[in-house]
């Protein structure tokens, strides 16, 4: 049986060592992607003209910045800042981060660097005021958690002190209120690959959900709350209907609103203690509702 904590980390070492340019992806990081480069190898970086945040690093300090074109921005810093020894880029494989996203990521990383007392004095600007909604914040926090893990994995511990303080504080709060651990928070991070793309879109989505259910994947409370709400689901369903129609203990498809239920599959899905109907109106185009692309975007966020 697969261990829920297992993950696969892939490193591409340009010169065969950890001292050169590194490209990192992680099975638990979905579309996230990281590049690390020593200062003298920056010119070897290619095809990173993407939205993201970057870290200029020395042994004891970090400068946190953001850019719509990471590759161009770092070349500017070769002449404008002379103290840093290497750079880290945090971006995505499909360049899906937005300006609002990188405002938020930059702001959080600056705050963590300040707490760790490692922020460079050149970071006079503490980042733009982040304006992400609560739903997007969940996804970005998950992105950052995995990014910080990968940084420590390759030996970059510039944020470690801040992370330890925050973890200790959370543990203290839990012990103080003697609150039992909610098993729904122990979300399984592993998930099966998406099915054969040759399937018709409706069967493609249903098969993916059945495979996910069979794998033992568990949704967290935050995910269930998000995808059983209209606001959190609309980017994927494209309608004012939630992706998950949660069923109460004594409720089933026959007892719910029959008119709205027509937009959901007859099958009940169960993940842990959560039972729900799954939105069914997935089409080959945008004329009638959600498409394969919307579903894939959603699946990649899990």
**CB distance 92 to 102 below 8 Å:** no
The predicted pLDDT at position 168 comes to 39
Residues 61 and 143 reside in one and the same domain: yes
Residues 50 and 109 reside in one and the same domain: yes
* Assigned token pair, 268: 């009940």
The predicted pLDDT at position 280 comes to 93
Residues 160 and 22 reside in one and the same domain: yes
Residues 28 and 144 reside in one and the same domain: yes
Residues 26 and 122 reside in one and the same domain: yes
Residues 27 and 107 reside in one and the same domain: yes
Among 141, 168, 195, the domain boundary falls at: 168
Q: Is the residue at 4 inside a domain? A: no
Q: Is the residue at 72 inside a domain? A: yes
Residues 73 and 164 reside in one and the same domain: yes
Half-sphere exposure of 97 (CA within 13 A, CB side): 31
Residues 219 and 295 reside in one and the same domain: yes
Closest CA to 266 of 257, 254, 274, 275: 254
The domain in which residue 239 lies consists of 184-301
Residues 19 and 81 reside in one and the same domain: yes
Count how many domains the chain has. Answer: 2
Q: Report the length, in residues, of the chain.
A: 302
The predicted pLDDT at position 169 comes to 41
The predicted pLDDT at position 131 comes to 81
Domain holding 61: CATH number? 3.40.1440.10
Residues 194 and 277 reside in one and the same domain: yes
The predicted pLDDT at position 126 comes to 62
Longest dimension (CA), the chain: 68
Q: Is the residue at 179 inside a domain? A: no
Among 168, 201, 233, the domain boundary falls at: 168
Residues 19 and 73 reside in one and the same domain: yes
Q: Is the residue at 176 inside a domain? A: no
- Spell out, as residue ranges, where the chain has pLDDT lower than 50: 1-2, 162-189
The predicted pLDDT at position 191 comes to 80
Residues 142 and 289 reside in one and the same domain: no
Phi/psi for 177 (5° steps) reads: -95, 5
């Amino acid at each position: 049986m697969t261990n829920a904590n297992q993950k696969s980390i892939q490193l591409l070492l340009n010169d065969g060592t950890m001292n050169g340019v590194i490209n990192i992806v992680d099975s638990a990081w979905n579309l996230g992607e990281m590049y690390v480069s020593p200062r003298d190898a920056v010119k070897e970086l290619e095809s990173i003209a993407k939205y993201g945040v970057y870290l200029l690093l020395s042994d004891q300090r970090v400068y946190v910045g953001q850019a719509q074109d990471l590759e161009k921005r770092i070349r500017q810093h070769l002449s404008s800042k002379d103290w840093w020894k290497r750079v880290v880029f945090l971006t995505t494989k499909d360049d899906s981060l937005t300006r609002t996203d990188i405002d938020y990521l930059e702001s959080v990383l600056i705050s963590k660097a300040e707490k760790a007392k490692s922020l460079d004095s050149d970071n006079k600007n503490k980042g733009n005021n982040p304006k992400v909604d609560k739903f997007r914040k969940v996804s970005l926090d998950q992105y950052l958690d995995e990014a910080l893990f990968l940084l420590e994995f390759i030996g970059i511990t510039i944020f470690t002190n801040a992370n330890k303080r925050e973890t200790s504080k959370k543990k203290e709060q839990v012990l103080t209120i003697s609150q039992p651990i909610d098993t729904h928070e122990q979300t399984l991070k592993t998930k099966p690959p998406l099915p054969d793309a040759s399937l018709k879109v409706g069967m493609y989505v249903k098969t993916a959900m059945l495979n996910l259910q069979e794998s033992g994947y568990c949704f967290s409370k935050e995910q269930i709350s998000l995808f059983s709400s209209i606001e959190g689901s609309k980017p994927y369903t494209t309608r004012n209907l939630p992706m998950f129609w949660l069923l109460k203990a004594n409720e089933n498809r026959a007892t719910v609103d029959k008119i709205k239920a027509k937009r959901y599959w007859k099958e009940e899905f169960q993940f842990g203690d959560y039972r729900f109907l799954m939105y069914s109106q997935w089409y080959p185009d945008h004329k009638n509702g959600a498409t394969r692309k919307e579903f894939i975007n959603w699946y990649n966020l899990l």
